[in-house]
């Protein structure tokens, strides 16, 4: 009898231990799930939200400018010249009576196109130079490295200025000049990435598995080398717009009366003392898009770093 009671007590004790262990495992299993769900619902900061909304507004302005204003960007009305900002003209009017807000909205398409195309061109040129230097052996690496050092001896904006001066001032030349000016910095980074990746264990494993050099380049090396450039490309769009606006301000880009932000700054500089709005609002848009793309680039960078970790 005593043995039976002891057996029952031992069974109850074992059952309690098992139940306690199960509940502990369930609790420990729920915590990572909650942590994972917490990471999924993480919301960007207020600065990132404002930047994204501002960029969305610029995209709408670039593709659907008629939805934001009923004025024409080249419509002249001398009787409305140099009017201050009001409900009728949100950003005022310029020296020819044209609505400044309308010209800023219609100029978004040109400025964004220049920034995006110039950045893409710079990345393509940089990828070709960086991959050739990283995989081409010591001779190719030395030659391309010296060439990039020569380009780095000149400020990027000065390189773009020299190119435009040599080949003429127009929008096409401006895009090529800005792309060439930004390429050396991208090329040096791609070269470093390629050199680091080509000696990695997973690349060596690809060669051991019998994959060709072209397959390894396209499927392994390039995707990993280009990943940091997604962030730099986002930052580069704002930088390219600033450079393009600077060249247009100097008369080496879009010709007046085109609604381009840099050309608008150049046209309004003679009236900055009496009509400050002709300079303030185009300049503020340029600063705003630079800050917005910088914030977006840092947000993407944090996402990539968090995913890697």
Q: What is the mean pLDDT of each run of 10 residues along the chain (309 residues)?
A: 43 43 42 46 77 94 93 91 93 94 94 91 90 87 88 82 84 89 88 85 80 81 80 86 89 84 90 92 94 88 67
Question: What pLDDT shows up at residue 13?
Answer: 46
Overall residue count recorded for the chain in this entry: 309
pLDDT tens, 48-95?
A: 899 999 999 999 999 999 999 999 999 899 999 999 999 999 999 999
Question: What pLDDT shows up at residue 24?
Answer: 42
Q: How far is CA 149 from the centre of its chain?
A: 25
Residue 70, both tokens: 């009923």
Question: What pLDDT shows up at residue 4?
Answer: 43
Question: What pLDDT shows up at residue 157?
Answer: 81
Distance CA 133, CA 193 (A): 11
Q: What are φ and ψ of residue 89, in 5° steps? A: -130, 100
Cβ proximity of 101 and 277 under 8 Å: no
Q: Is the pTM of this model over 0.85?
A: no
Topology of domain 48-308, CATH: MetI-like fold (1.10.3720)
pLDDT tens, 219-244?
A: 888 888 877 777 888 888 988 999 88
Question: What pLDDT shows up at residue 15?
Answer: 43
Question: What pLDDT shows up at residue 89?
Answer: 93
Distance CA 248, CA 173 (A): 12
Question: What pLDDT shows up at residue 42?
Answer: 61
């Amino acid at each position: 009898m005593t043995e039976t009671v002891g057996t029952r007590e031992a069974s109850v004790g074992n059952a309690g231990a098992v139940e306690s262990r199960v509940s502990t495992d369930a609790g420990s299993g729920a915590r990572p799930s909650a942590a994972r769900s917490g990471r999924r619902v993480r919301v960007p900061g207020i600065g990132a939200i404002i930047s994204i909304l501002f960029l969305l507004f610029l995209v709408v302005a670039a593709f659907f400018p008629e939805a934001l204003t009923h004025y024409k960007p080249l419509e002249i009305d001398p009787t409305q010249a140099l009017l201050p900002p009001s409900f009728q003209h949100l950003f005022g009017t310029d020296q020819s009576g044209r609505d400044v807000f309308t010209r800023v909205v219609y100029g978004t398409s040109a400025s964004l196109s220049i920034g995006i195309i110039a950045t893409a061109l710079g990345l393509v040129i940089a990828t070709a130079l960086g991959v050739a230097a990283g995989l081409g052996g010591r001779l190719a690496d030395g030659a391309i490295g010296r060439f990039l050092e020569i380009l780095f001896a000149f400020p990027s904006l000065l390189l773009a200025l020299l190119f435009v001066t040599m080949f003429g001032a127009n929008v096409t030349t401006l895009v090529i000049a800005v792309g060439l000016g930004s390429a050396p910095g991208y090329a040096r980074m791609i070269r470093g990435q390629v050199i680091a990746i080509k000696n990695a264990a997973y690349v060596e494993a690809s060669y051991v598995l019998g994959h060709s050099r072209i397959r390894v380049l396209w499927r392994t090396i390039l995707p990993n080398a280009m990943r940091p450039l997604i962030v730099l490309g986002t930052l580069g769009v704002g930088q390219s717009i600033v450079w393009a606006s600077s060249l247009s301000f100097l008369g080496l880009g879009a010709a007046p009366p085109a609604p381009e932000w840099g050309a608008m700054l150049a046209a309004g500089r003679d009236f900055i003392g009496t009509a400050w709005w002709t300079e303030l609002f185009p300049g503020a848009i340029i600063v705003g898009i630079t800050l917005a793309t910088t914030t977006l680039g840092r947000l993407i960078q944090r996402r990539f770093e968090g995913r890697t970790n």
